Amino acid sequence: MENPILYRKRFIPDECLELKEDIILDQTDSFIVTKWSTIHQRCDLSHGYSCYFLDRGYKVSKFLKEDGSLLCWYCDIITYDYDKENNKLLVIDLLADVKIYPNGLIKVVDLDELSEAFEKRLIDENLLKKSLLTLNRLLNEIYDNGIESLIGPIENVIAKNNQ
């Protein structure tokens, strides 16, 4: 797929947005790296980079503060649907997330939202299982290899752009 039009679908809150301002910086068969600014103004987060590992089922983002310092690495569990005819990539947030702070602290978050989405029938059993199994795979990768195994594509793009 060549520089698709990116969309983000969330279940909680229920929304589907075209990521018009996101800039695709790099793309291979296994990942897409983007640069973005926050959609809604926030006091803690200004902008960042994301790497969509479509084949692995997660998106790793570098969340940056206004001054460019690292707030955290944020990992979303995702699935996607690609519309080849219209070159549209719909990335679907499967709710479970992992935050990795600069001090090394790892937090799994939003499992309550995953449970709520299942209870309210916003997602089915297949998506629930997919989210949990992918979360397990992601955590095992982080525990076994550290965050470095996931941030290479983002850091390489940043290094190239700073040359």
Cα distances from 48 to residues 22, 23, 28, 37, 69, in angstroms, run 10, 11, 20, 6, 10
Torsion of CA 17, 61, 91, 57, to 10 degrees: -160
Are 65 and 45 a contacting pair, CB within 8 Å? yes
Return d(Cα 17, Cα 6) in angstroms, integer.
Answer: 9
pLDDT tens, residue by residue, 15-45: 999 999 999 999 998 899 999 988 777 778 8
pTM: 0.94
pLDDT digits (tens, 9 = 90+) for 54-67: 999 999 999 999 99
DSSP label of 11: T
